[in-house]
Chains A and B, each alone.
Chain A
Amino acid sequence: MIEARSLTKVYGGKAAVDGIDFQVKPGMVTGFLGPNGAGKSTTMRMILGLDRPTSGTVSIGGRRYQGQVWPLHEVGALLDARAVHPGRSAYDHLRSLAAANGIARARVDEVLEMVGLASVARKRAGGFSLGMFQRLGIAGALLGDPGTLLFDEPVNGLDPEGISWIRTFMRSLAAEGRTVLVSSHLMSEMALTADHLLVIGRGRMIADMPLSELMARDSGGRVEVRSADPQRMAADLRAAGAQVTLEPDGTLGVAGLGSRQIGELAAERGHVLYQLRDVTASLEEAYFRLTGESVEYRAAVPVAS
């Protein structure tokens, strides 16, 4: 379990991470979500003892990272997959990490096999694709068979096959009872991977809740209606106090009335309905609603969506 208390990091008078509290629990994938520059990477670096918190504390299994003698047996991390000497082979890169924590050479071969890099292990890493770097980074994180894993933007720049591989991999790590924290700025990715979400914006914790709860919370109560006579239907709905938008294909978006009331109204007025559907907001929309206030840099003119 990872636990942060009033964790704060100030750079040049500006709080990159502003007094956040959270717990990351074992046995599930926790998504660490937020726009670029929200403080995700800074938080991860503080968890790993790379950056010193300005105030507050963060611990893994109740202990500070810096105090660990053989940390790779407790914690594995993928921060920047490209952080490998281009002239060093994947095998030697992992060997040096393993040696630093008394991990046997056989384990290096094992993790290379697990991530599917065994055939290129002796090649110099400079020629690797981004996907291969990500696999190498994950192999490094797994070296010590740790109970806690941190992945910073692991799917960035990957092809769909690589993304699905990492997703499956993270889910299986969590299923084995490990603590898995994955950061991303892509809500759509988190929707498929995470069980629990920590949403951060401008250094503050905006939401800390199960994924299902976040999806349910902001559905906004919209109903989609398709009927034989959309114009007359829209007029009747407006007369009943609903806000109605008419799509070019004749679909009506209705707010202010529930699907049950709309159905009853349609029956009273003799409408033929083809479809009546409650619309849950997409996770993306819920995320935008949450972080809308906290995006650091936004275009002056909002892009039409």
Chain B
Amino acid sequence: MSAQAGTVPHRGIRLDSRLRATARSEWIKFRSVRSGPLALSATALTVVAGAWLLGDANRGSYLAASPAGQAAFDPVFTVLQAIELAQLFVGALGVLTVTGEYASGLIRGTFVATPQRAQVLAMRALVFAVVVWACCTAMSFAAFFLGQSALSPAKHAGIGDPGVLTAVSGAGLYLTLVGLLAMFIGVLVRHTPGALAALFGILIVLPVLFLSIIPGKITQNLGEYMPGQAGEQAFHQLHSGAYALGSWPGLGVLAAYVAVAAFAAFALILKRDA
């Protein structure tokens, strides 16, 4: 061993190799703990088993419903709505991916190894998003097919029907965006319980507040633009009433919230002492 520092691997360092090293480090961290597989398994179980149960339960009620009720029946959203519960697992995983390191103090080790903090956050978000998107998209398709077969012979949808492919792939994107929102909230709050409370408040309490407790047309309209409500429109096939935004605009609104949270998270992670 020499007195001077060991040889630096790449003289004339390029940004892409530094980024690759950070991404690889974040990937190793993600796959070497159990919380990822656990949270994603819980999500998959909820979404897929939920689709079957919801399809099965709604088959009879559809057949017994009035013609107007039957016309308003959305076979895609009906079987995918277990996502409203499953998003809590993805959200918790997003929060823990960040707050876990703050709780143990590992965040300092991470920043000592990679002082480029923005890069750490960006690569962590990228690794998280890719894994969550792939898993959640796969489970959404599985849930869709299983749910539709459980709905039949009541009104059910085929993957080629108008808006269906968008809605099913939108479900995977929705869960990914919720996970990212959770991760950035984790950066802002840094403590697991506080971040979870903030996330669940935004996803669950806000819509209830706007859509149920405070009456009136304005709150109704505002409620439509809450992160969860807007994003959920992604996996509706029929867009009417409180779900008039449409799949892509709805996801766009949620993405805008994620972007705001990301902006604040990057600003703070650079500014604050670790």
Q: A: which residues have CB within 8 A of B?
A: 26-27, 45, 48-52, 61, 65-75, 77, 79-80, 82-89, 92-93, 95-97, 99-103, 140, 144-148, 176-178
Contact = CB atoms under 8 A, between A and B. Distances in A.
A45 B115 contact: no
A97 B10 CA distance: 17
Contacts of B33: 85, 87-88
B160 interface: no
Contacts of A97: 25, 109, 113
Given A27-B3, A70-B18, A77-B112, 14 more contacts: A51-B273, A61-B5, A73-B5, A73-B8, A85-B29, A87-B34, A88-B33, A93-B32, A95-B28, A97-B113, A100-B22, A100-B25, A100-B113, A102-B9
Interface of B: 1-10, 13, 17-18, 21-22, 24-26, 28-29, 32-35, 100-101, 104-106, 108-116, 273-274
A99 B31 CA distance: 14
A83 B112 CA distance: 12
Contacts of A177: 2-4
A99 B25 CA distance: 5
Given A83-B106, A102-B10, A88 B115 contact: no
Nearest to A46: B273
A77 B1 CA distance: 18
Nearest to B25: A100
B6 A73 contact: yes
A88 B18 CA distance: 24
Contacts of A92: 28-29, 32
Contact of B109 (A45, A49, A83): A83
A43 to B, nearest CB: 13
Which of the listed residues A97, A100, A145 has the most CB atoms from chain B within 10 Å of its own CB?
A: A100
A50 B113 CA distance: 11
Contact of B3 (A75, A83, A176): A176
Nearest to B34: A87
A176 B104 CA distance: 33
Given A70-B9, A80-B105, A87-B34, A100 B21 contact: yes
A75 B111 CA distance: 13
A273 B263 CA distance: 80
Given A70-B8, A83-B108, A145-B5, A96 B28 contact: yes
A96 B32 contact: yes
Contacts of A96: 25-26, 28-29, 32
